[in-house]
Amino acid sequence: MSKLSLTGKELRNIGYPEGPVISIAMNIMQKAYKHESKETALAVLSSILASPQDYSTDEILGVIANQLLPQQELEHNGISLNQTGIQFNIFGQEHIEEGAMHQMYTAAKLPVAVAGALMPDAHHGYGLPIGGVLATENVVIPYGVGVDIGCRMCLSIFDINPQELVQREHYFAREINEATLFGSGAQFKQAADHEVMDHEAFGLLPLLKQLHGRAWKQLGTSGSGNHFVEFGEVSIAETDGILQLPAGQYLGLLSHSGSRGLGSNIANHYTKVAVSKRRLPLEAKNLAWLDMAEAEGQEYWLAMNLAGDYASACHHIIHDKIAKQLGRKPLKMVENHHNFAWKEILDGKEVIVHRKGATPAGKNVLGIIPGSMTAPGFIVKGKGEAASINSASHGAGRKLSRTKAMQSITEKQLRDELVKHNVTLLGGGLDEAPFAYKDIEEVMKGQKALVDIVGRFTPKIVKMDGTPVRTRKSQKQDIAEGE
DNA sequence: ATGTAC
């Protein structure tokens, strides 16, 4: 009977890279070190990771060490990481998990890295951490952008009294339900229309041509995971010169989604191309890049921009539908993407800035940073802080993994929290419950130097993917209305 | 994040 129980997460937290080495190391340690403490086992694993060459001939631990040794470096295309990484700034470090820090330290050792920063909502991701910002010179890293290319926030602000959300809750809930479609593979039977589907890129690359049909049917859908469409109260404390809205309360429509299957296929395709072209040590494998001077780099750039335009179109279709149903034009719209790569000038030099779960925060640039289904979100204005490479967090950041949230949060807890905040949830699982997220107020404190708050968004009617969790209030109303 | 997966 083994006393030792290691988890993959613990290995990642001490810097073990994604890949087969995690399960190999877990298996070996659970056999060879079964009577040792977890601390001892982790210390040994750390030591192997620090200098795998010292263990490569060890009869037992050598198997782990050889997984960590960058065999690819010996191959003809092999690329080594720098011994010392570039310096990067970390904002709100006390809220950032160790795994995310390790991933950023690895990214900082890439020979193409020019500058980096970690946002206060950072957590462990695939390749670059979520909340990671990385500037490179003349190369683009597909997994530095992420799988959901162009994922973004979009807010419409209407001149409607937000009290109506309480008074006519069922009317607004129906508007969201009718205008949106959630679900992992969700497609409309009758495709929406948008000029993005006529984009020339669809004809230029075979990959994009192949993705056109499904992309069309997914146009205007929201997907799954942390994506949402919600009504809430926009509160402007004082007029801001950039947002230019009089102080007051407004009705807001806020959406969060990305480029669906289109972006996902582009990301995975070009990551594979990059990984096969540039053999990096295992821990940096998924940070393989494409050179902007080669055809694949140009292709990725074209496809990435298409996915960005497509993600934007998805939001606009939803917002247009709802605005039409409300019979109003929004006073303002604020939109920003947070999974993308941009050509920007840094210290007088053009660089490619990858933001993976980070909000652009150049001087006077508006953005939206959401909290959770019950916590407030913020309309922000960038300060143009070079130390963060003109970036801020893209949300509160997860505190609990999806699996951990599902295990530890009960439906009753979520229901009580929704009632407490007077939020109606039209769909959404326990893995998206407010308790799974960091405290957004704390995260905002960690980035005071990066953004100014110009408005507040308080969610009231929230739609996400998944079975609706019923509040007592809405159950009562359903009975009253005979649903 | 993604409809069927190195």
The CA distance from A449 to A457, in Å, is: 21
pLDDT at A477: 45
pLDDT at A57: 79
Confidence bin at A77 (pLDDT 50/70/90) = low
Q: Is residue A134 part of a domain?
A: no
Q: Note whether A320 and A449 are same-domain residues.
A: yes
Q: Note whether A280 and A162 are same-domain residues.
A: yes
Q: What is the pLDDT of residues A432-476, one digit of tens each?
A: 999 999 999 999 999 999 999 999 999 999 999 987 766 555 544
Q: Is residue A360 part of a domain?
A: yes
Q: Is residue A88 part of a domain?
A: no
From residues 138-197 of A, list those within 7 angstroms of strand B by Cβ. 147-148, 151, 183-187
Q: What is the mean pLDDT of residues A269-283?
A: 93
Q: Which residues sit opposite A393 in a β-bridge?
A: A358
Which residue range forms the structural domain that includes residue A34? 8-69
Closest nucleotide C1' to the C-alpha of A272: B6
Closest nucleotide C1' to the C-alpha of A268: B2
Q: Is residue A177 part of a domain?
A: yes
Q: Note whether A204 and A61 are same-domain residues.
A: no
Q: What is the mean pLDDT of residues A289-307?
A: 97
Q: Is residue A96 part of a domain?
A: no
pTM of this prediction?
A: 0.85
Q: What is the pLDDT of residues A322-345, one digit of tens each?
A: 999 999 999 999 999 999 999 999
Structure-block tokens of residue A352: 């490619």
Answer yes or no: are the C-beta atoms of A391 and A119 closer than 8 Å. Answer: yes
Q: For residue A472, count CB atoms less than 10 angstroms from its CB and return exposed for 0-12, middle for 13-18, buried for 19 or more.
A: exposed
Answer yes or no: are the C-beta atoms of A259 and A315 closer than 8 Å. Answer: no
Q: How far is the CA of A262 from the C1' of B2 (A)?
A: 9
pLDDT at A107: 97
Q: Is residue A135 part of a domain?
A: no
> What phi, psi does A238 have (nearest 5°)?
-150, 150
Rg of chain A over CA atoms, in angstroms? 23
Check whether A122 has a pLDDT greater than 90. Answer: yes
Check whether A478 has a pLDDT greater than 90. Answer: no
Range name among A18-22, A79-83, A418-422 with the lowest pLDDT average: A18-22
Q: Note whether A34 and A179 are same-domain residues.
A: no
Closest nucleotide C1' to the C-alpha of A264: B2
Q: How far is the CA of A225 from the C1' of B5 (A)?
A: 18
Q: How far is the CA of A285 from the C1' of B6 (A)?
A: 15
Amino acid found at A277: K
Q: For residue A85, count CB atoms less than 10 angstroms from its CB and return exposed for 0-12, middle for 13-18, buried for 19 or more.
A: middle
Q: Is residue A121 part of a domain?
A: no
Confidence bin at A18 (pLDDT 50/70/90) = confident
Q: Note whether A209 and A343 are same-domain residues.
A: yes
Q: How far is the CA of A281 from the C1' of B6 (A)?
A: 19
Q: How far is the CA of A218 from the C1' of B4 (A)?
A: 18
According to the 3-state scheme, what is the secondary structure of chain A? CCCCCCCHHHHHHCCCCCCHHHHHHHHHHHHHCCCCCHHHHHHHHHHHHHCHHHCCCCCCCHHHHHHHCCHHHHCCCCCCCCCCCCCEEECCHHHCCHHHHHHHHHHHCCCCEEEEEEEEEEECCCCCCEEEEEEECCEECHHHHCCCCCCEEEEEEECCCCCHHHHCHHHHHHHHHHHCCECCCCCCCCCCCCHHHHCCHHHHCHHHHHHHHHHHHHCCCCECCCCEEEEEEEEECCCCCCCCCCCEEEEEEEEEECCHHHHHHHHHHHHHHHHHHCCCCHHHHHHCCEECCCHHHHHHHHHHHHHHHHHHHHHHHHHHHHHHHHCCCCCEEEEEECEEEEEEEECCEEEEEEEECEEECCCCCEEEECCCCCCCEEEEEECCCHHHCCEEECCCCECCCHHHHHHHCCHHHHHHHHHHCCCEECCCCHHHCHHHECCHHHHHHCCCCCEEEEEEEEEEEEEECCCCCCCHHHHHHHHHCCC
pLDDT at A59: 84
Q: Is residue A84 part of a domain?
A: no
Q: Note whether A342 and A464 are same-domain residues.
A: yes
Closest nucleotide C1' to the C-alpha of A214: B3
Answer yes or no: are the C-beta atoms of A129 and A100 closer than 8 Å. Answer: yes
Domain count, chain A: 2
Q: Note whether A196 and A47 are same-domain residues.
A: no
Q: Which residues sit opposite A88 in a β-bridge?
A: A116
The CA distance from A155 to A162, in Å, is: 15
- What CATH number is given to the structural domain containing A248? 3.90.1860.10
Domain closes at, from A41, A69, A97: A69
Q: Note whether A429 and A299 are same-domain residues.
A: yes
Q: How far is the CA of A431 from the C1' of B3 (A)?
A: 20
A225 touches strand B (CB under 7 A): yes
Check whether A156 has a pLDDT greater than 90. Answer: yes
Check whether A479 has a pLDDT greater than 80. Answer: no
Domain closes at, from A25, A51, A69: A69
Confidence bin at A19 (pLDDT 50/70/90) = confident
Average pLDDT, chain A: 92
List CB contacts of A167: < 8 A, sequence separation 6 or more.
none
Q: What is the pLDDT of residues A195-237, one digit of tens each?
A: 999 999 999 999 999 999 999 999 999 999 999 999 999 999 9
Q: What is the mean pLDDT of residues A297-313?
A: 98
Closest nucleotide C1' to the C-alpha of A261: B2
Chain B positions with a protein C-beta closer than 7 Å: 1-3
Domain closes at, from A54, A69, A84: A69
Range name among A69-73, A145-149, A296-300, A372-376 with the lowest pLDDT average: A69-73
Q: What is the mean pLDDT of residues A101-105?
A: 95
Q: What is the pLDDT of residues A30-75, one digit of tens each?
A: 888 888 889 899 999 999 998 888 888 788 898 898 888 765 444 5
Q: What is the mean pLDDT of residues A273-278?
A: 94
A227 touches strand B (CB under 7 A): yes
The CA distance from A320 to A180, in Å, is: 11
The CA distance from A49 to A55, in Å, is: 9
